[in-house]
Amino acid sequence: MSTLVRDRATAQPTPVPVREPRRRPSRRTILLGAAVVVWILGFLVLHGTATLALPASELTDLHRSLNQFNTWVAANRADNPVFLYIFTPLRAAVDAVANLFITIFAATPTGLRLPEIGWLGTVGLLGWIAFAIGNARVALLTAAVFTFFGLQGLFVEATYTFALVLTAVLLTLLVGIPLGVLAGVYGRAAKLITPVLDFMQTLPTFVYLAPLALVFLIGPASAVIATVIYAAPPVIRLTAHGIRCIPENTREASDSLGTTGLQRLVTLQLPMARRTIVMGINQSTMAALSMVTIAALIAAPGLGQVVVRALQSLDVGTAVNAGLAIVLLAIVLDRVTTAASRRAEPGAARNRRVSRRTRYILLGVTLVLALAMVQFSRTMLWAAVFPQDLNIGTAIVQAVGSASQWMQTNLSLFTVSFREAVTTGILNPFQSLLTDTPFYILVAVIAVAAYALGGWKLAALTTACLGVIIYLGLWSDSMVTLAGTLVATAVVMVLGVVFGVAMGRSERMDQILRPLLDAGQTMPAFVYLVPFLGLFGATRFTAIVAGIIYAAPVAIKITADGIAAISPTVVEAAVASGSTPWQVITKVQLPMARPSLALAANQGLIYVLAMVVVGALVGAGGLGYDVVAGFVQSSLFGKGLAAGIAIVFLGILLDRMTQAAAATPVRKIPSSNSPST
C-alpha cells in the first residue's frame, strides 16, 4: 500500500465545529429595552403634555410655606428654647474659635485693625509647623506659597480661608476620630454610622448651605458647621478602617497579655492605625477647603468670596487669580498632610536621612527664627501688612483678562461653534426628551429600570424619590439637572474607559497619568469653572464641561484599578489563544471589570451632579439656579430650600441605581472546556 493510501486510511475525519448557541437576552435587558421603547413612544405621542413645568418666578404653596417658616424662624430666634439653648450657643462657640484664628492670621472684616501676627510672622510660623509635622521641602513650599499670596494681593483673603479651614478641620477631628474609633471597635456602631456617612457623602455641597444658613444665619459659623458636616465622613471611615484592619493574631497576642479594651486601643490599635488616620485627615482637609470656598455663598470670608463675585460679574482675570490661590493652598494642605502620613509609617524613623537629635536641633533653631519673624510682624508695618509695591496681582488679572478676551475673539470660530454644535445636537434634544415627556411615563420608565437593576425595593425607593421631587414642585428643573448630569457622565465614562484601560494595561502609562489625576482631584470644585468660563462664556455648556473634567479623574482611576486587578493568567490565556489586543480588551478585560465600571459610573454621577449644580454660578439652569436664587432673594428662599431637598433625592436615586448596577454579579466567561464549545 502506498504512503498516500495508508495516510488516507488511517486519517481521522475532520471534526465539524459546533456553533455556540446564541445566548438569549436576559430579563434585565428585555425590561430595559421595553422601558426605552415606552419612553420614546410616550415622548412622540404625548410630547409637551403633563410636564409639570413651573416658571422661574412662580411659587407653589409649599414654597410659600417654607418662606413663612423662614420668616417665623427670624422672628422667634431670640425667644425659642431650641435656638436659645442649643443653636445659638453652638453658633457662638464655633464663631469664637473661628474668630480666634481669624484674629491671629487675618485682618478684621472692617480692616481697621491689624492681625495679631502679620504676613511675615504668618509665613514663618506656618513654615515651621509644616517642617515640624512634615519635612523641609513642604516647609519651603508653604513659605513660598503664602509669600506668593501677598504678591497676588490676596494675602488677607487667603488667610481668612486658611483660618476657616483650620477651624473646621480641628472640629472635624474632635468629632470624627472618636466616631471612627467607635465604629472600628464596635461592629454595631459601624452598622449605625455607615448609612449616615453614605447619605452625607451623597449630598452635593450646595445642599448643606440653605438649611444651615436658616438655623445658624450666614457668616463664618455657618460655613464652619457646613464644612464639618461635609468633611467628617472621610476621617471617620478611614479611622474605623485602620482599626478594623489590624491583624487578628496581633490582637489576640495583646489580649493574652491581659490588656483591657482601653489599653489595647491606646497601645495597639491607634498606633498601628496611625498612618490610615492621617490619610483620613488629609482627605478631610481637602474636603474642608472645597466646602469653605463654596460657603462664600453664605457670606464666608476668603478666597471663595473673590471667586463668586468674579463669576457673577464674568471677570475672568480676577477669577483666575483667586482660583490660582485656591489651587496653591490646596497643594500646600495636601503636601503637608501627605508628608505627615509618610512620617507616620512604621519604618519611617529608620529611613530618615538625619538623626532624631539633629532634627530636634533644627526644629529648635527654625522655631527661634519663626518667633523672630513673628516679633518683626508685630512691631514693623512692612512686616505686618504686605507691601503694595510688590503686588503683581493687578498684572495677573489684566494679563488673564486680555488673554481671555483674545481667545473669545480669535478662537470663537472653534469654541462657539463647538459649544453650539454640542448644545443643539446633544444637550437640547436630550433635555427636551426628559422635560417634555409626560411625568407619569418617565416615572414608570425609571421605576422599571430600577426594578431591572435591583428588584422591587429599589423600584419602590426610586418611585418614592421621584414622588418627593414632584411634591416639591420642581420636576422640570430636576429633569434639566438630570439631563446635564447624564450627558456629562456619559462623556466621563468614555474618558474613564479609554484612559483607564490604557493605565490598567501599561504600568508606564499609569505612572505618567496618575500624578495628573491626583492633582486634578486636589483642586476644589469652584476652580474648574474659571478656565472654561473664559473659553465658552457663561452657559450651561461651561458647567457641563467643568463637571466632566472634575469627575473624570475618579472614574479613570477606578477603571484603571479594575483592569489592573484582572488575573494576568486570564489575559495570557486569551493572548495564547490568538486574541488580538482589541479582542482581549473587549472580550475579556472590560467584561470582567464590569463591577469597577459600574462603580466608576456611580462616583462619576455623584461628582458630576455636584459640579453641574455649582455651575449655576456660570449660567447653568435647573436646581442649582433655584438654590442660588434662594440665597440672593428672600422671596425665593422657599423655592431654593425645596431645590436643595430635590437635589438630595435626585442624588439618592442616581446613587442607589448605579450601586445596584455595580453589585450585579459578572457572568462567567465560558472556557474552552465548557460544554457549549
pLDDT tens-digit map of 640-654: 889 888 988 998 888
Measured between alpha carbons, how far is 274 from 341 in angstroms, rounded to an integer?
8
pLDDT greater than 50 at residue 10: no
Q: What is the pLDDT of residue 113?
A: 54
Q: What is the pLDDT of residue 56?
A: 66
Number of Cα atoms under 13 Å in the Cβ half of residue 344: 21
Measured between alpha carbons, how far is 374 from 605 in angstroms, rounded to an integer?
47
Q: What is the pLDDT of residue 673?
A: 37
Within a domain: residue 653? yes
Q: How does pLDDT run across 540-594, given as a tens digit for each residue? A: 888 888 889 888 988 898 888 888 888 888 888 888 888 888 888 888 888 888 8
**Between helices 206-216 and 594-614, what is the axis angle to 10°?**
50
What type of residue sits at position 649? F
CATH number at residue 589: 1.10.3720.10
Q: Which residue has the cell 488677607?
A: 156
Name the pLDDT band for 597 (thresholds 50, 70, 90): confident
Q: What is the pLDDT of residue 24?
A: 65
Average pLDDT over residues 615-641: 83
pLDDT greater than 70 at residue 352: no
Q: What is the pLDDT of residue 21?
A: 53
- What are the distances in angstroms from CA 484 to CA 32, 118, 417, 545? 21, 46, 19, 10
Q: What is the pLDDT of residue 25?
A: 66
- What are the distances in angstroms from CA 644 to CA 96, 198, 215, 389? 29, 18, 15, 45
- Range of lowest pLDDT (38-52, 332-346, 372-386, 542-556): 332-346
- Cβ contact 419:541 at 8 Å: yes
Q: What is the pLDDT of residue 665?
A: 55
Characterise 66 by phi-psi region: left (phi > 0), alpha (psi -120 to 50), beta (else). alpha
Q: What is the pLDDT of residue 472?
A: 92
What type of residue sits at position 98? A
Measured between alpha carbons, how far is 349 from 128 in angstroms, rounded to an integer?
20
- Cβ contact 449:458 at 8 Å: no
Q: What is the pLDDT of residue 468?
A: 93
pLDDT greater than 70 at residue 350: no
The residue among 520, 516, 538, 517 whose CA lies nearest residue 529 is 538
| Count of domains forming the chain | 1
Name the pLDDT band for 6 (thresholds 50, 70, 90): very low
Which residues have C-beta within 8 Å of that of residue 277, sequence separation ≥ 6? 177, 180, 235, 238, 239, 242, 270, 344
Q: What is the pLDDT of residue 417?
A: 85
Measured between alpha carbons, how far is 612 from 543 in angstroms, rounded to an integer?
6
Q: What is the pLDDT of residue 475?
A: 92
Name the pLDDT band for 343 (thresholds 50, 70, 90): low
pLDDT greater than 70 at residue 5: no
Measured between alpha carbons, how far is 113 from 542 in angstroms, rounded to an integer?
41
Q: How does pLDDT run across 177-219, given as a tens digit for each residue? A: 999 988 888 888 888 888 888 777 767 777 778 788 888 888 8
- What are the distances in angstroms from CA 632 to CA 71, 297, 317, 635, 636? 16, 9, 24, 9, 8
pLDDT greater than 50 at residue 621: yes
Within a domain: residue 156? no
Measured between alpha carbons, how far is 282 from 235 in angstroms, rounded to an integer?
8
Within a domain: residue 505? yes
- Cβ contact 500:513 at 8 Å: no
Q: What is the pLDDT of residue 534?
A: 76
Number of Cα atoms under 13 Å in the Cβ half of residue 239: 27
Average pLDDT over residues 368-391: 86
SS3 category, 318? helix
Chain centroid to Cα 591, Å, comes to: 27
Q: What is the pLDDT of residue 497?
A: 92
Cell of residue 82, nine digits: 431650641
Q: What is the pLDDT of residue 562?
A: 86
- Cβ contact 128:366 at 8 Å: yes
Find the domain containing 539 and state its range: 414-436+478-665
Q: How does pLDDT run across 413-446, given as a tens digit for each residue? A: 788 888 889 989 999 999 999 998 999 999 999 9
Within a domain: residue 652? yes
Report the 3 state secondary structure along 398-439: HHHHHHHHHHHHHCHHHHHHHHHHHHHHHHHHHHHHHHCCCH
- Cβ contact 630:69 at 8 Å: no
- State the DSSP H helix or E strand holding residue 538, giving kind and residue range, or none if neither: none
Q: What is the pLDDT of residue 486?
A: 92
Q: How does pLDDT run across 502-534, given as a tens digit for each residue? A: 998 888 888 888 888 877 777 777 777 877 887
Q: How does pLDDT run across 240-252, given as a tens digit for each residue? A: 888 887 777 777 7
Within a domain: residue 237? no
Within a domain: residue 109? no
Mean pLDDT of the chain: 82
Within a domain: residue 473? no
Average pLDDT over residues 361-388: 88
